[in-house]
Each structure stands twice: as C-alpha cells, then as structure tokens.
Chains A and B, each alone.
Chain A
Amino acid sequence: MVAAAALRVVRCGGSSLHGARAVFSADSKYLLCVSGDFVKMYSLATEETLRLMGGHADLVTSIQLNPHNHMQLYSSSLDGSIKLWDFMDGIPIKTFTVGSKLLALYTPASFEDSVFAVIPKSGERDTFQLVSIKLTKAAGQDLEAKELSVVLDDVDVSPKRIAFGREGEYVASVKEVNLQVYFFKRKQLNRFSVSAVKTKSGNNHFTCIACHPKEDCIATGHADGKIRLWRNFCHKKEYTFSTLHWHHDAVMDLTFSIEGTSLLSGGVESVLVLWHNESDCQKDFLPRLGSAIEYISMSPDGALCCTLHTDNRITIINSNLRFSKSIQGLIKSTDVKTGLVVDPRTKALVLNGEPGHLQFYCLQSDQQLFSLDIVQRQYIHQAGLSQADLVKVAFDAQGKWLATVEEREDVTDPELQLKLWCYDDKTQSFKLNTRINMPHEGHITDLCFRDMDESEEDSLILVTAGRDRVFKVWVMVEDTDPEAQQSVSWSCDFVGSYHNYQATNCCFSEDGSLLAVSFEETVTVWDSVTWDLKCTFCHPPGKIRNICFGRLTCSKYLIGATDYGFLCCWNLLTCALEWSAYLNVLVLQPDPLSEHIAAVSWLSKESSLFVFKPNEPWPIYIQRNLCKEKIQLAAFVPRDEPETVGSEKHCWLRRSQLFFLTDMQLAVEESLPMTPFSLLLGKHRHQQSQEDLDLGKLVVHNTHKQDSPAVKELLHTPAHVLPSASFLCPVFINSLLISKDNKSDEEVDDEVEMESEKTEDDSDEERDVTEMEQEDTNPMELLGEMTYKLSKSQEKELRKIRKMDYSWISAF
C-alpha cells in the first residue's frame, strides 16, 4: 500500500556530532553518538556508520546505555520523550512521554526503575531542575512517564555539569561558582562554593564535573583552566580539594578512567590530558587533535576513549593515549566560499573544510572521505590575522582535473593563486600540476571547465572570470622543459573583456561550443573555438547574479538570474528573451543529468524552491517555505541508480537528489513512498508535504507597485528583445482595462476546492497526512496573499496578461 509519494526535506547530515557525550557499547565494539535528531551507531573496527536511529521529533540531548540491559539505549530529546532502543537492531522498544523538554538524561545503575533528567522548571525562565523519572514497566510501546520527583533545584542546562557518584550514592551538580552534592541515602544536601574572583585568566566558574567511579572524589573543571578534585565532601566543613592546572582556557570535559586511577581532560587547546594518580606532576598529553574537545567518554572496558570535537569529528584513542581512529563529519567552516561542488569521481560533496583545506564529504555515509590541503601553509589560530583561504573550486567532467583558487584578503597586497590539480591514479589523490600566481588582478569571481564528454585531453579548457574586468581562458600545453616531471601544464590562451565591465559569472554550454560570461548587466556568449563574441543578452536594470545553460533537450536556452529579482530565459537560436519571471533567485542550479533547473528564492524570510525546465515558462515543482533559513548553496548529486518515481511532478528527482546547505546543515529533497513504516519515521519536523497546486500563477510578471505590470515589463525589457509594437499594443491596452471581479473570485475558489478534494483523495488512509497537509496549505495561501498584496481583480488581470504574454511567444 504505497501511497502517493510526497516530497519532503530531510535533514540528511552534517548535523553536529558533538551534541552529547558519546556512548560505547558494553563490548566496546560500537560507538553510539548523537547527531541532530538521530542517534548514530558506528562500528569501532571499520569506522562505518552502521545504523541511524531516528524517531525523535527534535534534537536528541542525551544518550545512555540501559544499565540493566547492555543491548539497550535510552535517548532523551527536546521533544519531551525518552526512547528506549535496541541499538543492535536499530528499533525503538519503548517511548516514554515526559511532557517537558529533556535537556539531559542520566541512568545510574543503582536505580532500578527510574532515570534522571534535567527539565526546565515550570513557570520560571532559564531555571532548570534535576528530576527523577519513574519509568513504568507497563506493556505497550508508547507510555506516559509522569511520575517526576525533583532531586536538585537550580541546576545548569549543560549535561556536563551533573554527575552521579560511585554506585549512585550521591549526585553532584555545578552551576557558576557553586557545587552541590546530594546524598540519596542520607537525604543530605551539601553546598560548596569557590570564590567568585575574576582573574586575568578568566573567572573560576565551574564548567564540567565528573565523579570518581570507586571513591568519594569529585573532579570539577573550571573556566580558568583549573581542575579541582574534591574530597571529604560528605562533611560540610572538613571538605578539601586539590587543584590540577594545565589548561590555559576553560576545561570543556572531564572523565575518570574506569578504575579511577587517572583522569582525562580536554579543552580548546585540542590536547587530551591524562592525569595520573591525581597528581599535578604526572600527566601525559595527546596533542594536535585538530580542534577543541567538547566531550570525552571512556569505553566500559577502559581500552578506548573517545573525544568529540567542535569540528564534527570523533576521535578514538587507545588507552595508552595513542591516536587510533577518527570519524569526521561535515566540518563546519566559517564561510563556505567554494560553494557545493560534486566530485564527479566519488560523487562526494566538495566544500571548504578546515581552513585552507578542501573536504570531500560523502553524503551517503555522512562522513568526510578525505581532506585535501590546498593552501599548504600553517594555519595560525589567532583572531585578526588575514590568512590565505580557499575561495573557488571546479572539477572537470571526469573528475581528473581540479582547479582551486585561494586568496588572502589583504587591503594593500592581495594574494591570489590559481592551482590546477591532476588526479593521480597511483596515489588516489590529487597532485598539484600548475600553480599560477596572480591569475587575475582582482578577485576571481567564477571559474569553470569546459565539460566535454569525450575524453580528449587537449580539449579541456578552463575559464576564469575576474573582477579585473576580463575573463581568461586557460589551456593545457605540452611541457617543453625536459626536466619537468609532468608532461602538461596550464597556461593562458585568451583574455576576453566586454566594455570594461567586471566579469561575474562564466558557464559553458553542454556541448562546450559556447561560453557565456556575464559582465555586470550583460551576458555575453562566445564561441569557444574562435573566441568570437557571438551575441549579448541583458535584462536591465539588474546585474546578472547567476547564469546557466539548459541541458539535453533544452540546450538552446540560457537561464540568467538578476539581482533585481528576475529570472530570464533566453533562446540562443533566436537570440531573444523566451520568458522571464519575477523571482528573487539566490541559487540557480542545473541538474547535470536532466534538463531540470532548480532555483531557490528568498522571499519574506523564507526560502522556496522552484524546479523548472527552460522550455516551459512554468515550474514543474514548487516547494514553498523550504526552510526558514537563507539557503546559501545547493547542488544536485547524481543518484547511484535512478529512482522509480511515480508522480510526474517528481520526475526531476529521478536521477539526482538536490542537496542544499542552510546554516551548515545538509538537507536533501527526496521522495519517499508513503508506507506505514515511513509514516512511523516520518514525524519529522522538517517534513513538508507536497502542494498539488497550479502554481503557474506564481511565476508571473509581478510588481510591487500599483502601476501596471505590463507597463513595467515593457519598460524594463531591453528594446532588442521586445516583440514588435503590433504585438505589444493589445497587451498594453488590455492592461489598462478594468475587468470584472466576480468571475475571477469564482475561478480561484474553484481551484481551491479542487485542491482540497485532491488532498483528501491522496490521504484518506492516514489521518496524519491530512492533518499535515492542511497545516501546510493554510500558511501557503496566507503567504500567497502576503507576498502579492494584490486584489483579486489584479490577480485576474495578471492572469490575463500572462495568457496574452505567451500568446506572442508562441507566435514566434
């Protein structure tokens, strides 16, 4: 019973792996880790993601092994539920609904049927309490767990700031400068505090806490880098502590070894420190771990430890403090200047990684494949230094050549390098072939290879467009120098310019015969053999933001988006504007394997996706309100095998998936068949059902102002692309006429009715879906009204205009 497929956005990866402490399975063969809304299970032998356990409707905040069954895992989430998983099979066993946000979860072994969680105190903002939650033993999957009792008041949100002592005798919590210890058996609460003096090295607020597994000893980390070891804290007065100090900045996490003989600590220094015997003088270091250590966890047998880093990496470390393995997720670079590029060879997504590095990110496994050092210079972690960074990347069609541009932002002396890398089959990596210093006088705005399917090496051409008002063509030449190790290198072949405008974008047609280069407001088309200027297009007054050629059957079209909010399609055969639409396009991304083009627009604080074919002026698919964030980048990634998609609307996803990057989270647009199982999993907050609307009306010539859109169109379209005046005259005259209101209203109503019928048809089996659909249609309609701010009459009018408009095109 496969229901009609619904398209939805799925957060597919890149979510931070350092949301909560990782957990080792009891046999230390698997590592369980929180990743956004999911729990991931990695194999420690192969570093592979074995299982992805989803089902929480919000961020997972904590995972803990079930102390009474080592094959089970508890997870807590902000959605207010605790789930018990069988992680070997990856299936949820039970869901306990608590009702309030769960910020941390603890499952000390000595408590038979209760777990502990941090929840917000009702009625007070930013106040949290530790409660014990009694988990009922009742049968059934979905259970209520409402039996809460407060253990500690006024605790900190962070799960690192609460720890349970040996055998669950006591619980310790730190907040700011206070430490409180609650003894369960004696029902005694002891409070201690450190002096709140601020020193040069920062304040001494508590940052994290760990309890000794065998003895009455509490280790606390502080913001000034000190570690205090508290003892004798069962006495209010005769407590004592000793201090260990190595970290120069806040201690981010602490963990005792299984026997408690040593203590591990980590912080922003990216150094794991092993303290022996609680002594200040005996310590070992594992330095150069790459980035700040966020969490440390120990395996139950003590043989391994694992650190989670702020750059989405999991490092597995042997007990003798030797680096063992690392699992790298998507690195959150501060600025993804390179855009999302797909490596044709590995189908991996390529983007900025560590500073100066290019990361190859595998979408299927949500892991980094490898990192290529492009800049090859030492990166200095210091604010305010301008250091060379990677800004542009391009692959050729086969993935044999890689072109990278790096630049150092410097007001007086900008540094620019173009590097060409050749894939070396022996080393299975890219090898630097040519380095060109200062390829342009100004920033390089775009670069592209001529994508030739034939494997003729010499036909490979690289074009770079620069802000120095030229574009340059680079070709491979035979190296004449006998001492050179390589046979070919790259050199400049042609420099083109147009009216001394800055070159902003460049793009080759599918067959490689034409090169389109945009110069501010104008798109120029060049013959790639003779380098003659063939023709120009423009759509004033906006400057060209993106351009791309159509593919396959639509290869005669050139699509451009301007920063005045127009999406234009030019016919290369007639050299005329085929159609244009008013759309504030941020991202224009052609699918390399089909004629579809995806455009992401940004309107009134939400991103919308439009998929269209250049030969049709209406989109084949619209996804409103894709997400609230600005979508920065998008890329089509070819599927390994074409998907069988039933619906006509989703055929654009048949061969590729569209990935886009919001504020550093990858999401994928994909179609899932509506099976009961998928519904079970499908309580995803990002899920958006598909709208079956005639959305042609959205791609219309639109206007903010009250003046007639036809007039505006007339004035804004360049003269040489306008049809003859005889065509325009009736349009213009018609636009000035006032049409009847009633009719248009009815029309719209009809449409809406039709829609709702359809939805019901689609979803009569499952109530969930209907609900969701209705939820989604409402804002949709609302939004339509808001964005247009037009009366029904105007809408009607517009529709008329559109009809008129295309009539003249068809006449061509």
Chain B
Amino acid sequence: MGEFEVHRVRFFGLVPAGVRCLACTPRGGRLALARTDGTVEIYNFAANYFQEKVIPGHEVRSVESLCWAAGERLFGAGLSGDITEYDLLGLRAERPVDGCGGPIWSMAANSSGTQLAIGCEDGSVKLFQVVPGGIQFERNLDRRKGRILCLSWHPSDTHIAAGSIDALRVLDVSSGQTVQRIMVNYHVQKVKRECVVWGIAFLSRGTVVTADSFGRVQFWDWQRGTLSESHTISTSAALSLAVSEEENSIIVGTSTGATYQLQLLPVKMGSQETRWVRTKPFQHHTHDVRAVAHSPTALISGGLDAQLVIRPLMEKVQRKGYDAALRKFTFPHRRLVSCARKARLLLFQFSQHLELWRLGSTNETGKDGEVLPLCRMPEHLVQLKSKGPEHIYCSCVSPCGSWVAYSTASRFHLYRVQHEGDSVSVRKVPKVPKVLPPAYQLQFSSDSDSLFVASAQGSVHVLQLLEPGGCKHLHTLRPPSGSPEAVYLLAPSADGQWLAAVGGDWAIHIYNLKGFKHHCAVPTYSCAVTALAIHPLTNNLVIAYSDQQLFEFSIPKKQYTAWSRMVQNCGLHKVWLERDSPITHITFNPKSPSHILLHDIYMFCILDKSLPLPDNSALLMNQSTLKQLPETARQRQLHAFKICKKFQPLLFADLLDNNCLVMVERPIMDIKTQLPLPIQQKKFGT
C-alpha cells in the first residue's frame, strides 16, 4: 500500500442538521428530505440511494412538511407560513406563496397530485390548486380551534383527516365541513396532559390511524367515530407515521429514537380476518425520529441526530446484496472540504461560514502506526461569514492558497488571501463578473490561474484570476445539445487543457480549455456520478458511479481504456459492490502513476492498476492479513484494492505531495456531544 505521512484532521466541527421531514414520490423513485436548517435533499433510490440534489437552506425558511405533487414537483411548507416550490433543475427555491393561516405545520397532496392541503396554526385547513408554474389558493375548509399538526387525504380524495391537539377531525372536501370529530384521549382517565396527534394516515378502508404523544398508535373507524384498535408502542411520544402503499405495513417513529413496524397480518392461516400487529422494533436513532417514510422495499426514518436510516424489508428484497443492506447516512455525499495542496491549507464549508486552517507540521519521522509529535500546531487562519440569510452552496480554495471562492443562492464571492509571514489578510475581490448564481460547484485550475464555476443548464463559466486581486470572465462552456440540469461536479486536468463536468442528468462532458470548445461526452451510464478526476500524466478520466462501478476514460482517445474494459469484463469484487456509501473523492499520486486514491465515508482505498483484480473468493480487505504473511506468500495474495479502514467517518482525503496524506475525520461521538441530551430512559442494570 505504501507508507504515508498522514495528517489526521479532526478539527472540522461539522454538525449536520437534524432530519425534519421525509417524502417519497408516489412511485417510490425518489425521497425528499428536509433538515431542520431548511436544507432540502433529494435521494435517488434507483441510484443506490445517492444524494442526488441538495438545495441549501435559508435562515428564515424552515421546512415542516414536504410533498410531491403533479408528477415530480416538490413543495415545502414551514413555520414562516409560506408554501415554496423547489426548482429541482436549478436547485433553488421558487418564490414562496403565503398560506395566510399563520405557521404551517403540515401539508399533504391528494392522490392525483392536483391539490395541496395545508394545516395551519389557526386551525384551518386550506386547499391549494397545483397549476403550472405555481399554486393557486382554492378554498378554506371548516376551521376549528387548535393547530393542525398533521393531514392525510383519503385515497379517493373525498375526505381529509386532520390531527390536532387532543382531537382528530375528518373533513369532507366537497362540502368543506367537519364530518367527524374524535377526542383521542377520551379513553384515558384523569389525564390532564394534552394529547398531541403527531401523525395521521387515512386508509382506503375508512380507517384513520393516529400516532400521538402518549406513545399510542390508534386505529379509528371514522364513520362511527369509534376506536377499533389501540397499540401502546412506547412510553414516550409517537412522532411520525407512514403507511406502505399496499396499506399492510406502518412505520412509526418515537421520541426515544426507536421506530416500530406494525403489520396487517391474517389472524389465522388462510382466513380473511386480519389484524394489525406490532412486530419489529428498530433502535437506530438516539434522538427523536421526526420523520418516517415507507418505500415499497424499505422503512426509512430520519431523526434529530441527523441520521437517515434506510432499513430494507428482508421479505421484500429478492436477493441478498446491495438492496438488503441497512444503511445510515449522516454526512452529505459531496465534498465540504477543499484543500490547497501547495500551501497546505484546508477550507471547511459550514452552512453559513467558511473556515480556513493551516495544517500542522512535524520534522520527525517514525515507523508505521506511530503518532508523530507536531512542531507546529494546526492553525485556524480565517473565518469567513457569509452575509445574509442564505446558506452556502459550495466553496473552494485555490491550490496556491491565495484565493477562496464561495457561492450562495444569490451571490458569488471571491476572496484574495494574502499571507505575510504568519499573519493572514483577506480581501474581497471587487467587481466579480455577473455570472448567473448560484454556483453549484467551484474549482480552481491546478496553476491557480482560473476558476471554473458550475452553473445552471449544464454551463460552466471560466473566470480568469488576475494579480493582485481581480478576475475576468473568459468563457462559458455549454454542452452542444444543451441541458436543463445544473452541473454538480467538475474536474480540471493538471495540465490545464481539459475540464470534465457532470450535470444532473449524469452526462459527463469534456471541454478543451485551450480552445474553449466541447471535446466529447463520455458514453452515458445509467447511474449517478459520485466522483471524477483526471489523471495528471495520462489525462485519463476516472469516474466513480453510485453503484460502485469504476470507469477509466481516455480523454485524448475519446474511449474507455483497456483497463476499464478489463474491469467491466471481470467485474468488481462482490464486497466492493455491496458497500453502502458512495466514493466522494478521487485523486492520484504523480509518483506512482498506476495508483488511484479514492475514499468514501468508511474507507480509504489505493487502487493499483498494475495488480490483478481480486475475484469473489479472495478477501477484499486483506491489508491486515497481508502484514502477517511472509514475503513470497504476500506477493501471491496481492490484488489491486488496498483498503484502509482506520479513519472513520472520513469526510475528505487528499494527497498533499508524494508521501503526505491529509485525512479529515468527523467522529460520530463528537457530533453526539453537540446534540441535546436524548430522552432519559431507565436502562435495566445501570
């Protein structure tokens, strides 16, 4: 694997925001997720749950509820009282529409996706018509006291069930009247506490399912107003509820971090009589599970501990493999760290500020595994606060360390960083060219002469950086056929000749920077690109896809390389393909041209193209066993994948120079200490 001096960086104080709500598209292809800071993320199930799109948040735009309507349109509503449609191509929020009912707690779309119902603070339920280009207020339904915390449409769109405090209501859509009102804590005697209905679902057979703050899941016959079944599943509140499309399985999230599944099972073999039975409990979260979703094959839950957990239903999964793995996402699937290799600086991106750090250094050497003492401690040089309520989309530091760029939804900023001895000064570059914000990805060329700005509609702007602190718009690169989707990944070549850009449609376009013209497009592959990079010597483009496939494309020859074809013929190792987190960064070692350095959250890998690929019978992670083998046996056991799992969770890894790596870790425990205390639970034996 080779020996490296590793900077083990643990001073990136990222705390991901908690998950507030989840929404699956009706056919279960995508999942929309909103975090407590207003960020909206789109996960693509077909692309192995890759985090496909991120719309950064806004200080005042909280999202309480998300729903998909009219095909693939995504709407969000929050405590600001506005309904916002999200532009999934341009990755930004459209102009909000005021709900006129105070803070909005809940929103639901009807089954055909033509109408939106919102539940407001003032107790009203309002209907909005989804029209091309926006939404239109339709009418108010019957208003009663008490905020509407949850809403659910009957699959036939004739009734709406609304959960409130101490009660649930069923509203007739056509007349707008409350046709049933059920007090949920009627059966609990002498309880002064109010019972909050946190989650509601209207089943097609006329059953209303509620999840309330007493930890109960109750099944009501709405026409008679009677309780048909009650399951006390937890001693703490049940916060969220989701029903599968066949209406035979329910997932409930509770405030202790546990999620429970209820299943509709036949009472006897072969009989028609069925009953809801609480079956499996899952304890994957430590904090409130505020959002759950039920995809056809998996239970999905998101908690305030920022984790998104996808727990596949074993009985629905056909084969054991990638689909059957439990996956937990805590960190974004994209890079929040950029590194100035020459200057040895790291730029960390937070939601509303940037931090620039200088790496520590040592002049000692040691053996494998030793921790070297530092002669200079890592130093926090600059903190750049983004102005305004908008969150940062992307950021980058130039390889020489003298330029820092970032972008928010409406503005693009470029800073000149001057190092004078130990002091650092930051100066904003005035009069940056009016490129269309936002920028989805920023990348400096390796000689720090130009900046590439990924922009909407598949375009990439090339800016020239001028000494001592200016910049000029050189050119805009566009794919020849045009594209509606924004570019989200960029990869310039080291010699400054090539630039690869990936758009939301997963097409990879390669531009020649000498003549600013489109060179070629990489043959399309039906999966999302998670990382790509151009080899500094051979100008081969290495591409990692979300299904864990690796491709190597020769830019000069405009075709896949022989090695890439060999990989496709032989196939990658099973264990490699079953990994559950995508490759987020690729880099190269100029000293050993056959090496490709790549990493995901849980491992760092050096792929040696000169060695044979392992077959499925071989051990993929064999570094520790190799160490114990004698030299001759080791030669026989060697294969291309050299994997190191020492650094977890790994947010960023890069090669500074020949033998020096930087690894940015964010231990989960450090995040946990930043979170509020979980609900105190008595644990037996403690």
Contacts and interface: CB of A to CB of B under 8 A. Distances in A.
Most-contacted residue by chain B among A166, A214, A229, A231 (CB, 10 A): A231
Contacts of B232: 279-282
Nearest to A166: B268
Interface residues of B, number: 21
Nearest to B263: A240
A215 B268 CA distance: 5
B277 A242 contact: yes
B231 interface: yes
Most-contacted residue by chain B among A214, A232, A239, A240 (CB, 10 A): A240
B268 A281 contact: no
Contacts of A239: 315
Contact of B277 (A169, A238, A278): A278
A390 B662 CA distance: 72
B265 A240 contact: yes
Given A231-B277, A242-B278, A280 B233 contact: yes
Nearest to A248: B684
Contacts of B281: 242-243
Contact of A241 (B268, B279, B685): B279
A705 interface: no
Interface string A263-302: 0000000000000011111100000000000000000000
Contacts of A277: 231
B269 A237 contact: no
A169 B232 CA distance: 31
A216 interface: yes
B280 A241 contact: yes
B321 interface: no
A234 interface: yes
A261 to B, nearest CB: 12
Contacts of A232: 263, 265-266
B215 interface: yes
Interface residues of A, number: 26
Interface string A194-233: 0000000100000000000011100000000000010110
A183 to B, nearest CB: 8
B432 interface: no
Contacts of B268: 166, 214-216
A240 B266 contact: no
B234 interface: yes
Contacts of A166: 268
B235 interface: yes
A308 to B, nearest CB: 26
Interface in B635-686: 684-685
Interface in A178-204: 183, 201
A281 to B, nearest CB: 4
Nearest to A170: B269
A707 to B, nearest CB: 66
A240 B267 contact: no
A341 to B, nearest CB: 42
Interface in B249-308: 263, 265-269, 277-281
Given A238-B315, A248-B684, A248-B685, A216 B266 contact: yes
Contacts of B685: 201, 248
A183 B234 CA distance: 35
A32 B484 CA distance: 82
A442 B157 CA distance: 90
Contact of B279 (A214, A234, A235, A240): A240
A73 B405 CA distance: 89
Contact of A169 (B233, B265, B267, B269): B269
Interface string B222-249: 0000000001111100000000000000
Given A237-B315, A279-B232, A280-B233, A242 B279 contact: yes
Given A231-B277, A231-B279, A237-B315, A279 B231 contact: yes
Contacts of B269: 169, 183, 216, 234
B267 A215 contact: yes
B544 to A, nearest CB: 33
B321 to A, nearest CB: 16
A251 to B, nearest CB: 15
Interface in A132-169: 166, 169
Contacts of A241: 279-280
B239 to A, nearest CB: 16
B278 A279 contact: yes
Contacts of A278: 277-278
Given A232-B265, A241-B279, 14 more contacts: A166-B268, A216-B267, A231-B263, A237-B314, A242-B281, A243-B280, A243-B281, A248-B684, A278-B278, A279-B278, A280-B233, A280-B278, A281-B233, A281-B235
29 contacts: A169-B269, A183-B269, A201-B685, A215-B267, A215-B268, A216-B266, A216-B267, A216-B268, A229-B277, A231-B277, A234-B269, A235-B315, A237-B315, A240-B263, A240-B265, A240-B277, A240-B280, A241-B279, A241-B280, A242-B280, A243-B281, A277-B231, A278-B277, A279-B231, A279-B232, A279-B233, A280-B232, A281-B232, A281-B235
Interface of A: 166, 169, 183, 201, 214-216, 229, 231-232, 234-235, 237-243, 248, 277-282
Which 8 pairs between the two chains have the least Cβ-Cβ distance? Answer: A281-B232, A238-B315, A240-B279, A242-B279, A215-B267, A237-B315, A234-B269, A231-B265
